[in-house]
Amino acid sequence: MNFLANINPWLILSVSIVFEVIGTLLFKYSSQNNHTISGIVSIIMYILTFSLMWQVSKKLEVSITYAVWSGAGILLITIFGWLVFNENMSSIKFISILLIIAGVIGLNLNGTTH
């Protein structure tokens, strides 16, 4: 994946997050509907996600990379779970998501890249 060397690591991280969210949504869909193809595509999405994360970690601190990746993933999966799968959105869940976002912002304000 040397072609990624000159691409902005934040862009690569964003694509990784999209793959992770798609993979998780397909994983949920596959488990609800016994849809094997969705499960296989989910695995492929996770392979792509971690391959991109590996590239990003070469340029950004791992704490920042993982915090943004997991925080954005949690936020997006919570929203899609609520909208697509009719999952509960309680006030505690909402406040917890806000705390995760605050933590990611705090890490980014304190972090540096190399």
The domain segmentation of the chain, as residue ranges, is: 2-110
What's the pTM value of the predicted model, to 2 decimals? 0.84
Over residues 54-75, the pLDDT tens digits come to: 999 999 988 888 889 988 999 9
Residue closest to 13 by CA, chosen among 79, 62, 75: 62
Question: Mean pLDDT across the chain, nearest whole number?
Answer: 88
Q: Who contacts 111 (Cβ-Cβ below 8 Å, separation ≥6)?
A: 61, 63, 64
